[in-house]
């Protein structure tokens, strides 16, 4: 599972995507697990088609978020039934009280059992493709 990714809407369908800056405009690399018209297979099960961002109806940045011990977190990884959480609260004293590990200034993380996490869901942030505000 991918915990953070871009998603683009192009010609009425949603694709996992990645922005690709060019000298004069932003392009979006669309990915499809299935063959599709205009998509090139770059490895088995991965077909790619670059399109100008202006052709996309939407471009979103998608993160996975959850609640643990009453606080909001981003999910960064999963191993052996445990999730790597990054604190979104912005309070260093609260992070320390929760037992989180400081990985750099203002960034606190901790591996926790998945069973302790609630409200696990995707959060989508629109990136305003039509206005080119990336």
Dump pLDDT digits (tens) for 6-34.
999 999 999 999 999 888 889 999 999 99
Which residues are CB-neighbours of 67 under 8 A, at least 6 positions away?
A: 73, 117, 118, 119
Look-up of token digits 């871009």: 6
Q: What is the pLDDT of residue 12?
A: 94
pTM of this structure:
0.82
d(CA 32, CA 96): 42
Band (125; pLDDT cuts 50, 70, 90):
very high
What pLDDT digit, counting tens, does each position of 52-82 carry? 999 999 999 999 999 999 999 999 999 999 9
* 133 pLDDT higher than 60: no
Paired strand residues for 64? 122
d(CA 119, CA 3): 15
Question: Can you read off the two tokens belonging to residue 35?
Answer: 């063959």
Do residues 42 and 31 lie in contact, with contact meaning Cβ atoms separated by under 8 Å?
no
Q: Other CB atoms closer than 10 Å to residue 12's CB: what's the count?
A: 6
């Amino acid at each position: 599972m991918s915990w953070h990714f871009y998603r683009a809407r192009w010609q009425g369908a949603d694709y996992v995507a990645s922005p690709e800056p060019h000298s004069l405009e932003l392009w979006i690399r669309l990915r499809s697990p299935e063959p599709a018209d205009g998509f090139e297979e770059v490895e088995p099960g991965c077909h790619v088609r670059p399109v100008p961002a202006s052709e996309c109806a939407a471009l979103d940045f998608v993160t996975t978020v959850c609640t643990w011990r009453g606080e909001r977190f981003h999910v960064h990884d999963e191993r052996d039934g445990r999730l790597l959480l990054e604190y979104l609260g912005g309070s260093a004293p609260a992070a320390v009280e929760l037992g989180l590990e400081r990985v750099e200034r203002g960034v606190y993380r901790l591996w926790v059992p998945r069973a302790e996490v609630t409200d696990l869901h995707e959060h989508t942030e629109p990136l305003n493709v039509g206005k080119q505000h990336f």
